[in-house]
Structure 1
Amino acid sequence: MKKCCFVIPYFGEFPNYFQLFLNSCKKNPDYDWLFFTDNKVDYSYPDNVKKIYMSFNDLRELIQSRFQFKISLAKPFKLCDYRPAFGYIFERYLSEYSWWGHCDVDTLMGDLDKFISNKMLNDYDKLFDLGHFIMYKNTFENNRLFMSEINGTYWYKEVFTIDKSMIFDEVYGGKKNINTIFKMSGKRIFENDLSLNFSPVKLTRFVKTTYNPSSERFEDEGLYKNKLVVWDNGHIFRYEIHDAQLTKKEYMYLHLQSRNMKSEELGNSLFAVIPNKFINLNRSDLVLLDHFKKVPKIESDLSLENLFSIDKLIYLVRSIKNNIKKNN
């Protein structure tokens, strides 16, 4: 039995590095991905990434059929709020899996098996806090927990009947989210952030940001220079120069925050990721210090226009405002 199936409804154009996302999924054969999409571009899909083609209207009708009240789902961006209900909405597609989950496609997967142990799968009901990668133990109770009554109210009904994003799928944005419901229900949650997630506020450089569940804040690293992100045959490493030596740390996955990325003609197994570009590497670049110093760590053309789409810039402005409000 596969460990988990990630459910991804996605409509419209994929990121221009979507094939790299698919390649990174292929390196994790214990996991499946299931897309509901209208995108029929001829990508090279690996065997563990399934597609069900449908229109956004058809998906909306499918979701509506699972609820007795009128839902609000005018545009695809609202689908994020429905993520905690995917185990219920898409139940018939998930019967063969012990876990299900959701993730963003502006990511590259690393070696999931190295980070998600059998002990974690046995001991917890929910893995991780942030919407770009969350897993749920696939049980009848867990899949309906989002419908819980909270102090005489039903948060999911409020969320599913309001057209704006309510950030119901993750911890950041307020208390009315699925993580709070799981905690109030006494469910076991693994909350350590194992991702290489870059701050959407630091637009022109890679500054790692880590969610601290104790403080309920994102914490940005202080030093980000002389570091290089590498996808190495199914592994995500971050190399850095430390005391005239090259050191590296491995991460579960990389989150690019919807950046527009340029790309050379990449090989299949080894490339670097800088703030707006993927570049080929030689193995010697990661062994010899002098070679490593010559690898570009940042692209010269880093205007906001080239880093992000207009829609993403609007989202970033909102994120910055929410961050300032939350931290004051």
Structure 2
Amino acid sequence: MTSILVIHPYFGKFPNIFPFWLESCHLNEDVDFLIVTDQQITTTSPNIHIWNTTLSEIKKRIEKITGISVWLEKPYKLCDFRPLFGEIFKEYTSNFDFWGYCDCDLIFGNIRYFLTEDILRNYDYILGWGHFHIQKTIDPKFENVWKTARGLWRNINWKEVFQSNQNEWFDELPYGASGRYYELYPEKCWMGYSNNHACYESPTPSLLNFYSLFNNYQLWEKWEGYQKQLNRLPFLQRQPNGDLHNIIYHKQGINLFTIGINEKGFIESRPILYVHFYKRKFSIKLENRIQYIIRPNAFIPYRKLNKILLYIYSHHLSIYWDYIKYRINRKLSKRN
């Protein structure tokens, strides 16, 4: 089996869903994970590796690789250095066929169900939004890719990105290393889109419900960021069918499902690779990390669903209060 290493550097206190993320990694026992952190983590999972270090040590490694002084005073800036993870963590990545990275404000489903041996044989660069990504370890094309990529907000090169004190989204679509790889080698990229949907979800906390820009046609149609990229990134194109409503997520062992009401009015369950939450706040209402339901504001015990229960789980009153607080905080942060 093709070997995969997923790297997650994280410095500071982990989010409260971290134990659930960690368990979803553990359940994918044929994928390895490297957590690089200054926190103490206890795990007996043979596929999860811990490297305790500091942010300043990672900065030294980056400066040795690039030969320039870089700005890395805050952990979130690490996202801009993700294209270098293969070199930064070479003592680990060199032992694997593929290396990649992910966030921990997500829950994995069955990774190998989606990233099949056929996909790993035929593609060098897999997924590109930054939530979860892997790429071939031995790939002579890649240095030219990231050295000719640009930032998202400004057309700046890699040196300017690495010295900027802002996050420039240098790793991900629509520009960054992922966008550049697709521009140069589209036939070697697999971005997770098929049958009019992405194989993952990423519901933004700016919406009340679990609707993802990647899988909801009405949101997609209104989002100018998508429309402007269709000529460069044609895989983003969507057709007006197949949306689910009243969505929750169900974790069942290694598998993860989106559950909602389809256009025929029936409850439908769809397997997904992962769901990413954009730092959404959750209440944790259970200890079982193997089987549970994720509703827009909480992780709760699993119950067999019917339409009424599904509606209740996806439209609880507390969600609206959380939404109001989110909007207030957004306005205050913009003023500051």
TM-score normalized with structure 1 length? 0.82
Q: Give 1:317 deviation, angstroms.
A: 6.7
**Contact 1:107/1:254 (8 A) holds in 2:** yes
Question: After superposition, what is the alpha-carbon deviation per residue over 1:226-261, rounded to whole angstroms, capped at 9, x for unaligned?
Answer: 332111112111222344533211111011111111
- Structure 2 residues without counterparts, runs of 5 or longer: 216-225
Quick one: distance in 2 between partners of 1:21 and 1:34? 13
Report deviation, 1:142. Answer: 4.6
Counterparts of 1:180 and 1:82, CA distance in 2: 15
Separation in structure 2 between the aligned mates of residue 39 and residue 315 of structure 1, nearest angstrom: 31
Shift of 1:275: 1.1
Question: Comparing 9-18 with 178-187, which one deviates more in the overlay?
Answer: 178-187
Asked if the contact 1:259–1:307 (Cα under 8 Å) also holds between the matched residues in 2, the reply is no
The residue correspondences of 1:140-155 to structure 2 (distance < 5 A) are 140-142=139-141, 144-149=143-148, 155=157
In structure 2, C-alpha distance between the alignment counterparts of 1:307 and 1:221, rounded to whole Å: 33
- Of the three residues 230, 245, 249, the one matched with 1:214 is 230
Distance in 2 between residues matched to 1:315 and 1:69, nearest whole Å: 36
Counterpart in the other structure of 1:321 = none
Aligned to 1:325: none
What CA distance in whole angstroms lies between the structure 2 residues aligned with 1:314 and 1:4? Answer: 41
The 1:2/1:309 distance shift into structure 2, 3 A limit, reads farther
Q: What is the match of residue 219 of structure 2?
A: none
Higher helix residue share: 2
Per-residue CA deviations over 1:49-79 (Å, capped at 9, x if unaligned) read 1111112112211222212111121211110
Q: Kindly report the root-mean-square deviation, in angstroms, between the aligned alpha carbons of the 2 structures.
A: 3.3
Per the alignment, residue 266 of structure 1 pairs with 287
Contact 2:244 2:260 in 1 (8 A): no
1:154-193 counterparts in 2 under 5 A? Answer: 155-172=157-174, 175=175, 177-186=176-185, 188-191=188-191, 192=193, 193=198
Q: Report the Cα distance in structure 2 between the residues aligned to 1:131 and 1:273, rounded to whole angstroms.
A: 22
Structure 1 spans left out of the alignment, 5+ residues: 319-328
Q: Report the alpha carbon displacement of residue 218 of structure 1 after superposing the two structures with TM.
A: 9.4
- What percent of counterpart residues are identical? 23
Question: Cα–Cα, structure 1 residues 270 and 57, in superposed 2: closer, same or farther, change >3 Å?
Answer: same
Aligned pairs, how many? Answer: 307
Give the direction of change, closer, same or farther, for the CA distance of 1:295–1:154 in structure 2 (3 Å limit): closer
Whole-Å separation in 2 of the counterparts to 1:314 and 1:290: 36
Q: Secondary structure at the match of 1:267?
A: coil
- In the TM superposition, residue 90 of structure 1 has moved relative to its aligned partner by 1.6
| Closer, same or farther: CA 145–136 of 1 in aligned 2, 3 Å | farther
Q: CA 1:37–1:294 in structure 2 vs 1: closer, same or farther (change >3 Å)? A: same
- Which residues in structure 2 correspond to 1:7-156 (within 5 Å)? 7-40=7-40, 42-44=41-43, 46-142=45-141, 144-149=143-148, 155-156=157-158
Q: Secondary structure at the match of 2:179?
A: helix
Aligned-partner residue type, residue 279 of structure 2: S
